[in-house]
Structure 1
Amino acid sequence: MEHLQYVAVLFVIFLLAGSVKGAVGLGLPTTALALMTLMLDPRTAISLVLIPILFSNFWQMYRSGDTMRAFRTYLPLGLSLMVMVAVTIVLTANASERFLLAMLGATMLVFVAVSIFDRVPPIPEGRDRQAQIVAGGVAGILGGLTSVWAPPMAIYLMSRRTPKAEFVRATGLLFFLGSIPLVAGYISQGYMTGRGFLISLSLVVPTFLGFSIGEHLRGRLSERAFRYFVLLVFAVMGLNLIRKAVLA
């Protein structure tokens, strides 16, 4: 693929991914990776989504406010997440493309299931710290493999019956914390080259442009219908990734 055509396709993908996140509040890495893996290997696709993830999560954290209180509240989850992201990247450095495709597809299907069934049993009294460590650990493993770590954190926050504003604040902080070892790990393992870093950095522009478009569309569309349409697309893409892994 010619360089300009390559960059143009990536621009459109991240414009769409940003729009999805702006419209329904989730799905930036899921959308971008599902589309990029149609033309790129998983490691390259994940490396290109890293800088937009880092910037968009920082922006979400900044806009949510009261960061220090959220940091104190979710410290066990944040530490567990960061440690397991770093450990997973090192331990799976030689993972095959087939394994990564399968894990990415499975993570997307879990993401869809969690988003549809938005009620989970509450955490027993006195078990919050343990639940945070477990959720952070599982999210770190998924994040280190695929850069998609939302399902375990969403399950934990839903089990706490977290209000919407707190949910956005917590996910913004936790996603940002997880992004730090993810970016550092991909650079140290050589998955992100200098050229890849510059391309990833440039994709912040369509990501934020798409986010603004999505926020504008949010009030004009049926959020519920659009959300389920997006999840249906994710389900199809997740199944296709698993098919590719099996047939690779």
Structure 2
Amino acid sequence: MDMFLLLALGTFLLAGTVKGTVGMGLPITAIGILSQFTDPRFAVTISVLPIVASNAWQVFRSGDVIAAIKRYWRFALCLAVVLLGTSLVATRVPTELIATALGFIIVLFALTSLAFTPPFLPEKYDRIGQIIGGTFSGIFGGLTAIWAPPMVIYFLARRLDKDEFVRASGVLFLAGSLPLLVGYFFNGLLDTETTKLSALLIIPSLLGFTFGELLRRKLNTERFRTVVLIVFLVMGLNLLRRSLF
């Protein structure tokens, strides 16, 4: 079996495990690792179907989805529209810029999650917060298939509890992953070969997700999350090093 295929299978098994354990992190883990060994644009492209499948599964498992949709529809709408538009022009963006954006987003996500608590966002400013968060998430997501950083900052600012965090993230991840799939199909990045590989990678992603759910019940999730974020930080800094120096 091709060495890259073995690497990709193992990477998505790990990425699915991270997502199943902490509720997010599949694209950051998978794209962050694979971008160390292959073209970042290719890493993003083959991640599209596992992202959609794992997000759909997370929504199915989270429960009380309708309430989350009613509350966060503005964020979801801005995310979906901007992400679709950005993804349609992703082929015009230089690979070096994508690598730089990936590194920046991963570092931003790791640092904000490790050390930064945004100011509290009152209910009266929630509408504008959703619009701003959804727009920035859509821009990042269309170029790199990673839109968690602005979303997590919004969640932290709203001080969501654990269950609400999981429900809301599941809905918004799915809201972004569907237009991402459409955009990458129409811009030609998801051709026959990349679609086959991306579809194959759904299997280790969902297996990892299931394993991660089991780990969540047994491990200290906060400690595991900290280790994962430190790894993200190192990967993001390495991408920035490669693209800028």
TM-score range, shorter chain: over 0.9
Q: Within the alignment, does 1:181 sit opposite 2:186 as a pair?
A: no
Q: Within the alignment, does 1:54 sit opposite 2:52 as a pair?
A: yes
Alignment-derived partner of residue 44 in structure 1:
42
Match 2:9 to one of 2, 8, 11: 11
CA distance in 2, matches of 1:44, 1:120: 33
CA distance in 2, matches of 1:39, 1:179: 24
In the superposition, the TM-score normalised over structure 2's length comes to 0.95
Deviation at 1:125, TM superposition (A): 4.2
Deviation at 1:5, TM superposition (A): 2.7
Secondary structure (helix, strand or coil) at the match of 1:126 reads helix
CA distance in 2, matches of 1:25, 1:160: 18
CA distance in 1, matches of 2:84, 2:90: 10
Distance 1:28-1:123 versus aligned 2 partners, 3 A rule: same
CA distance in 1, matches of 2:63, 2:116: 25
Q: Within the alignment, does 1:78 sit opposite 2:89 as a pair?
A: no
CA distance in 2, matches of 1:146, 1:153: 15
Instruction: Spell out, residue by residue over 1:105-156, the C-alpha distance to the aligned partner (whole angstroms, 9 max, x if none).
Output: 0000111022113632121342111110000000000101111111111111
In the superposition, the TM-score normalised over structure 1's length comes to 0.93
**Identical pairs, percent:** 42
Alignment-derived partner of residue 97 in structure 1:
95
Q: Within the alignment, does 1:170 sit opposite 2:168 as a pair?
A: yes
Q: Within the alignment, does 1:63 sit opposite 2:70 as a pair?
A: no
CA distance in 2, matches of 1:220, 1:124: 35
Alignment-derived partner of residue 85 in structure 2:
87
Secondary structure (helix, strand or coil) at the match of 1:191 reads coil
Secondary structure (helix, strand or coil) at the match of 1:122 reads coil
Instruction: Spell out, residue by residue over 1:26-68, the C-alpha distance to the aligned partner (whole angstroms, 9 max, x if none).
Output: 2111110011112221111111111111011111111112222
Deviation at 1:161, TM superposition (A): 1.5
Give the letter aligned to residue 246 of structure 1.
L
CA distance in 2, matches of 1:218, 1:13: 19
Which runs of structure 2 are paired with 1:1-248 in the superposition (5 Å)? 4-117=2-115, 119-247=117-245
- Higher mean alpha-carbon deviation, 118-127 vs 66-75, is at 118-127
Give the letter aligned to residue 91 of structure 2.
A
How many pairs does the alignment contain?
245
CA distance in 2, matches of 1:52, 1:20: 13
